[in-house]
């Protein structure tokens, strides 16, 4: 009986994942906002509080300060990564280069914060972490939420392998390389999930991992866009991979 509410959250997450990646991709932000509200409702019905889910009023200032620090740290890492030739290739995500300036702003300022970050942080570091921790302890809470976060990225990782030149160049192409890419993505995001949980627990606020999460994704779009546009200007007669494939 103790596991039934947790299983309910996991079931909702499976449906949301399919909605976002297979069934209704164009509803992405709406699905994420609605999904976050549903999950918060489940958490409250499970007798979790705003504080246990990292959203208590007293945590906002601390969370904002931690989040701002994370944004600065990620920006510095990205600046260094963009300056080094080997790591620069990992910013060559054709999805970023093919979008226009307005679409870039929409992705970085709307889709990422109110779609990706809102849903995933509420789900994994808010509701799921609180529900599992209250039943089985903090270690299990971190483990379950982080593994679930890794598995959540199976479907998105299939798209990333096809569109990111750095990933394809490092791992290769074909079915086996695609499988390796998915496994690495799941493991990598699960480890990132642990880091997000530590940040959430240490700060006491869900806003802290939200800041880090937005920085890694939102600034990733910005850096990818800038580097790919720069590459296009320096090689005007070399089409991007997406253009070659008619995507």
Tens digit of each residue's pLDDT (9 = 90 or more) over 195-239: 999 999 999 999 999 999 999 998 888 887 777 766 666 665 444
Quick one: 208 exposed, middle or buried, by C-beta within 10 A (0-12, 13-18, 19+)? buried
Structurally, how many domains does the chain consist of?
1
pTM of the model: 0.82
Q: What pLDDT does 4 receive?
A: 82
What is the tens place of the pLDDT at every residue in 1-12?
A: 567 889 899 999
Q: Compute the mean pLDDT over every residue in the chain, rounded to the nearest whole number.
A: 84
DSSP codes, 145-186 = HHHHHHHHTHHHHHHHHHHBHHHHHHH-SSHHHHHHHHHHHH
Q: Which of 5-19, 107-121, 137-151, 210-224 bottoms out in mean pLDDT, i.e. has the lowest? A: 210-224
For 20, 41, 124, 176, the CA distances from 15, given in Å and listed in that order, are 9, 16, 15, 27
For 87, 91, 205, the CA distances from 224, given in Å and listed in that order, are 12, 5, 29
What is the tens place of the pLDDT at every residue in 55-108?
A: 999 999 999 999 999 999 999 988 887 777 766 666 665 555 566 778 888 988
With bands split at pLDDT 50, 70 and 90, how would you rate the model's confidence at 155? Answer: confident
Q: Which domain holds residue 46?
A: 4-244
Q: Give the single-character DSSP code of 80.
A: H
Residue 206: what are its φ and ψ, rounded to 5°?
A: -75, -20
């Amino acid at each position: 009986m103790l596991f039934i509410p947790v299983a309910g959250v996991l079931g909702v997450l499976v449906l949301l994942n399919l909605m976002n990646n297979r069934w209704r991709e164009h509803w992405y932000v709406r699905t994420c906002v609605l999904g976050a509200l549903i999950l918060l409702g489940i958490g409250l019905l499970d007798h979790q509080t705003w504080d246990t889910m990292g959203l208590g009023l007293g945590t906002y200032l601390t969370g904002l300060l931690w989040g701002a620090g994370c944004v600065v740290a990620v920006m510095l890492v990205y600046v260094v990564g963009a300056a080094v030739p080997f790591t620069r290739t990992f910013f060559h995500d054709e999805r970023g280069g093919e979008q226009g300036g307005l679409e870039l702003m929409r992705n970085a300022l709307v889709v990422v914060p109110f779609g990706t970050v809102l849903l995933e942080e509420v789900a994994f570091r808010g509701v799921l972490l609180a529900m599992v921790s209250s039943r089985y302890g903090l270690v299990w809470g971190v483990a379950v939420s982080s593994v679930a976060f890794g598995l959540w990225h199976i479907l998105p990782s299939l798209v990333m392998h096809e569109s990111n030149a750095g990933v394809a160049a490092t791992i290769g192409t074909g079915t086996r390389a695609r499988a390796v890419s998915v496994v690495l993505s799941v493991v990598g995001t699960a480890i990132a999930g642990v880091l997000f949980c530590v940040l959430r627990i240490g700060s006491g606020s869900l806003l802290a991992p939200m800041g880090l999460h937005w920085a890694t994704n939102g600034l990733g779009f910005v850096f990818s866009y800038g580097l790919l546009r720069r590459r296009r200007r320096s090689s005007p007669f070399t089409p991007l991979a997406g253009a070659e494939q008619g995507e």
